[in-house]
Amino acid sequence: MVVNLLEVNGLTVTFPTPDGPVRAVRGISFGVDRGRTLGIVGESGSGKSVAALTLLGLTPGASVGGQALFGGDDLLAMSEPELRAVRGARIAVVFQDPLSSLHPMYRVGWQITEAIRAHTPASRRAARERAIELLGMVGIAQPRRRIDDYPHQFSGGMRQRVMIAMALALGPDLVIADEPTTALDTTVQAQILDLLHRLQQELGMALIIITHDLGVVAQTADEVQVMYAGRIAETADRRTIFYRAHHPYTLGLLGSVPSAAGRGRLTPIAGQPPSPIRLPSGCPFHPRCAYRMDRCTVEEPPLLTVGGGPGHRSACWLPVDARRSEVMV
Amino acid sequence: MIRFLVRRVLFGILVLWLISVAVFVLFFVAPHDPARAIAGRQATAETVALVEHRLGLDQPVLTQYWHFLVRLAHGDLGYSYYNSEPVRSLIVARLPVTLSLTLGGAILWLLLGVGIGIASARHPRSLLDRSATVFVLGGLSMPTFLVGLLLLYFLFFRLHLLGVDAFPGGGYVPFTQSPAQWAQHLILPWLTLALVSAATYSRLTRGSLLEVFGEDYVRTARAKGITEQRVVYRHALRSALTPVVTQLGIDVGALLGGAIITENVFGLPGLGQLAVQSVVTQDLPVIVGIVLVAAFFVVAANIVVDFLYAVLDPRVRRR
């Protein structure tokens, strides 16, 4: 078995609250290697962002279990200084809303050079030159002039380019993009995804894209992992997810994606995502599932290998060779 | 940036002018008889009329207002009824005391309040945070004069009985005469102001900082791998200071018009003491002078706050 750059095993994340523990992530395993893109898809509250940010210790107050091997070292067992050396330098994050994620009171150049100088002994001048180079690389015109602008002087798409430049500043091995296009206009979304994809191809890093939008995954991901209620519902390569999906939840997501051709009606998934404090018995998706069986209400299905393709696994009690996606799509 | 400041200053001048009108209406048009007050109860009608003429009180109200404005523009605030000294020199003589008291106190309560606030915000619900809450409640619920008197009792009187005279019980020594004595005489008044105000500032800093800790850009800062120290002081605190600066502007502006209670407890000859004296002796020109000076400080403090906003937050500069 090939050892991936990142190997997460049995990750659990629980937040204590006055109403009881919120089990945001309930034992998930995944991996991603250099040059590959993993798409993590799910509704808000499915635990997709928490799972990724916990790797970097960015979920304060959480109690965390499991193992996250990054280049052989367990991120979850690292001390704060050890983890700090990884953050920003070897694993970088691109956040959702670039307006709120960049500090409004500092120039973008300052914010980028700060990251560089936190991890390298680069001089102020060298860091600045590197920042200008990075801004040019992510497609910001006249970077030498724009470097001294404040975030509010950029458009949404340009701000996200600044975020990406900051993430790439130290040539990380892994970039986690947490809903990188959600806050942007549709036309800009495609540009940002292209940029991320192109840079990944050039720099050969591993990329995790977290999104609620299957359209984003369709453009970029090699492997896709669908999350529901803190667990992985289904995981497979991109083609399998889109053409031979097994889990009814994945099928529901596919049915609710509007297509540009505009054919067919959208089929929303009935009901609401479950409360993470009071999860349903058995399979957490069963209250919303059209294929519910008696077994689903009492016994939670593990991730089972199903027949769509290599590595195709689904947490569903339906027969392994069920191929309803052909019927539905 | 310069246009922004010019606009603020012009607006400040407008506010001061409105206050001068209000002061004029209140103190020169309201029914009272300054000429008789100056001439004395036994004075003849002629004497009173003469005084009235000398003061220009026999002229039409608008003319009087014009003269009042012209004199004001020259920095002439008139003469005290009580001892005929120019109001301006009375105020100028007191100003260093009030300035020393307020600015020193402000620095002390900022250090204390913001420091405690940061520590509380970094460890919410810790023992330190809880003790700070108790301290804050104490500070908030104790009146200034009580804090001042308690400090006097323990740090002056009790120490004095023990033969230690570390802190003088009152009075003022000009900085130019002896900086060490100046500071020594002001320590207890400074502490009084600081203990009373630090409470507000620590709560303000704590609340504001906790809010900023939840901001996305603070998470970004952490994700960069910079030290927690840097996250707190360079990233979070800068945004969190905005409400602190506002409060500071209000407090300092108000205190510069006379820290009445503190000055009286410690026998400091500042503007506040002058204000109390002139109210007691009904020395109207002095009262007017102090009101105008106090108004000036409030307006000036607000302009400084606006300027600090612009320095702190680049987004403000566009407005």
Asked if A105 has any chain B CB less than 8 Å from its own CB, the reply is: yes
Of the partner residues A87, A96, A101, the one whose CB lies closest to the CB of residue B225: A87
Residue B82 lies in a domain: no
Residue B307 lies in a domain: yes
Q: What is the pLDDT of residue B206?
A: 93
Q: Which two tokens stand for residue A207?
A: 């990329």
Of the partner residues A100, A118, A152, the one whose CB lies closest to the CB of residue B226: A118
Task: Using CA coordinates, name the residue in chain B closest to A85.
Answer: B225
pLDDT over threshold 90, residue B258: no
Q: Evaluate whether ipTM surpasses 0.85.
A: yes
pLDDT over threshold 90, residue B235: yes
Say yes or no: B188 and B293 in one domain.
Answer: yes
Task: Measure in Å the smallest separation between the Cα of B301 and chain A Cα atoms.
Answer: 23
Q: What is the pLDDT of residue A273?
A: 84
* Contact residues on chain B for A114, CB-CB shorter than 8 A: 224, 226
Task: Measure in Å the smallest separation between the Cα of B224 and chain A Cα atoms.
Answer: 4
Q: What is the pLDDT of residue B166?
A: 78
* Contact residues on chain B for A100, CB-CB shorter than 8 A: 215-217
Burial of A85: CB neighbours in 10 Å, binned 0-12, 13-18, 19+:
middle
Q: Do the bridges between strand A73-74 and strand A91-94 make them parallel or antiparallel, or are there none, so unpaired?
A: unpaired
CB-based contact A114 B224, cutoff 8 Å: yes
* Contact residues on chain A for B315, CB-CB shorter than 8 A: 104-105, 150, 152
Say yes or no: B35 and B120 in one domain.
Answer: no
User: 3-state class of A272 per DSSP?
Assistant: coil
Of the partner residues B216, B228, B239, the one whose CB lies closest to the CB of residue A97: B216
- Residues B99-121: pLDDT tens digits? 999 999 999 999 999 999 999 99
Q: What is the pLDDT of residue A261?
A: 54
Residue B84 lies in a domain: no
CATH number (domain holding residue B307): 1.10.3720.10
CB-based contact A84 B238, cutoff 8 Å: no
In which residue ranges of chain A is pLDDT below 50?
Answer: 1, 325-329
Of the partner residues A84, A95, A102, the one whose CB lies closest to the CB of residue B225: A84
CB-based contact B239 A104, cutoff 8 Å: yes
Asked if A166 has any chain B CB less than 8 Å from its own CB, the reply is: yes
Say yes or no: B35 and B139 in one domain.
Answer: no
Q: Do the bridges between strand A63-70 and strand A6-15 make them parallel or antiparallel, or are there none, so unpaired?
A: antiparallel
Q: Do the bridges between strand A174-178 and strand A206-211 make them parallel or antiparallel, or are there none, so unpaired?
A: parallel
Task: Using CA coordinates, name the residue in chain B closest to A117.
Answer: B226
Examine the fold and report which residue of B73, B107, B122 is the final residue of a domain before the chain moves on. B73
Place of tokens 């191929």: A323
pLDDT over threshold 50, residue B182: yes
Asked if B17 has any chain A CB less than 8 Å from its own CB, the reply is: no
Q: What is the pLDDT of residue A326?
A: 46
Task: Using CA coordinates, name the residue in chain A closest to B240.
Answer: A105
pLDDT over threshold 90, residue B173: no
Cβ–Cβ pairs < 8 A, chains A and B:
72
269-288 in B: which are within 8 Å (CB) of A?
none
Say yes or no: B240 and B138 in one domain.
Answer: yes
Residue B55 lies in a domain: yes
Say yes or no: B13 and B119 in one domain.
Answer: no
Task: Using CA coordinates, name the residue in chain A closest to B222.
Answer: A58
Q: Which domains does chain A have, with CATH numbers?
A: 6-226 (3.40.50.300), 229-328 (no CATH)
17-76 in A: which are within 8 Å (CB) of B?
56, 58
Are B301 and B250 in contact, with CB atoms under 8 Å apart? yes
Q: What is the pLDDT of residue B221?
A: 95
pLDDT over threshold 50, residue B86: yes
pLDDT over threshold 50, residue B145: yes
Asked if A101 has any chain B CB less than 8 Å from its own CB, the reply is: yes
Say yes or no: B58 and B97 in one domain.
Answer: no
Extract long-range pairs of B256-259: CB within 8 Å, 24+ residues apart: B256/B98, B256/B99, B256/B102, B256/B294, B256/B297, B256/B301, B257/B290, B257/B293, B257/B294, B257/B295, B257/B297, B257/B298, B258/B98, B258/B290, B258/B294, B259/B98, B259/B101, B259/B102, B259/B105, B259/B189, B259/B193
* CB atoms inside a 10 Å sphere around CB B200: 18
Cα–Cα dist B152/B150, whole Å: 5
Examine the fold and report which residue of B73, B103, B123 is the final residue of a domain before the chain moves on. B73
Q: What is the pLDDT of residue A278?
A: 85
Residue B124 lies in a domain: yes
Residue B242 lies in a domain: yes
Task: Measure in Å the smallest separation between the Cα of B313 and chain A Cα atoms.
Answer: 5
Examine the fold and report which residue of B73, B101, B127 is the final residue of a domain before the chain moves on. B73
pLDDT over threshold 90, residue B59: no
Of the partner residues A92, A105, A118, the one whose CB lies closest to the CB of residue B312: A105
Of the partner residues A105, A114, A152, the one whose CB lies closest to the CB of residue B238: A105
Q: What is the pLDDT of residue B104?
A: 93
Residue B80 lies in a domain: no
Asked if B314 has any chain A CB less than 8 Å from its own CB, the reply is: yes
* Contact residues on chain A for B235, CB-CB shorter than 8 A: 103
Say yes or no: B249 and B167 in one domain.
Answer: yes
Asked if B222 has any chain A CB less than 8 Å from its own CB, the reply is: yes
Place of tokens 């009606």: A265
Task: Measure in Å the smallest separation between the Cα of B13 and chain A Cα atoms.
Answer: 30
Of the partner residues B216, B226, B230, the one whose CB lies closest to the CB of residue A100: B216
Asked if A115 has any chain B CB less than 8 Å from its own CB, the reply is: yes
Are B64 and B56 in contact, with CB atoms under 8 Å apart? yes
Cα–Cα dist A183/B113, whole Å: 38
Cα–Cα dist B93/B289, whole Å: 13
Q: What is the pLDDT of residue B73?
A: 84
CB-based contact B222 A86, cutoff 8 Å: no
The total domain count for chain B is: 2
CB contact set of A82 (below 8 Å; sequence gap of 6+) = none
Of the partner residues B217, B226, B313, the one whose CB lies closest to the CB of residue A102: B217
Q: Which domain holds residue B251?
A: 92-313
Of the partner residues B225, B238, B314, the one whose CB lies closest to the CB of residue A118: B225
Percentage of residues of chain B with pLDDT beyond 90: 36
Say yes or no: B19 and B154 in one domain.
Answer: no
Asked if B221 has any chain A CB less than 8 Å from its own CB, the reply is: yes
Say yes or no: B17 and B100 in one domain.
Answer: no
224-263 in B: which are within 8 Å (CB) of A?
224-228, 230, 235, 238-239
Which among B248, B252, B254, B234 has a CA at the least distance from the CA of B308? B248
Residue B87 lies in a domain: no
* Contact residues on chain A for B238, CB-CB shorter than 8 A: 103, 105
CB-based contact B315 A104, cutoff 8 Å: yes
Say yes or no: B239 and B304 in one domain.
Answer: yes
CB-based contact B220 A102, cutoff 8 Å: yes
Angle between helices B2-24 and B284-312 (to 10 degrees): 160
Average pLDDT over residues B238-263: 89
Asked if A314 has any chain B CB less than 8 Å from its own CB, the reply is: no
Asked if A100 has any chain B CB less than 8 Å from its own CB, the reply is: yes
Say yes or no: B185 and B65 in one domain.
Answer: no
Residue among A58, A75, A103, A148 with most chain B CBs within 10 A, to mutate: A103
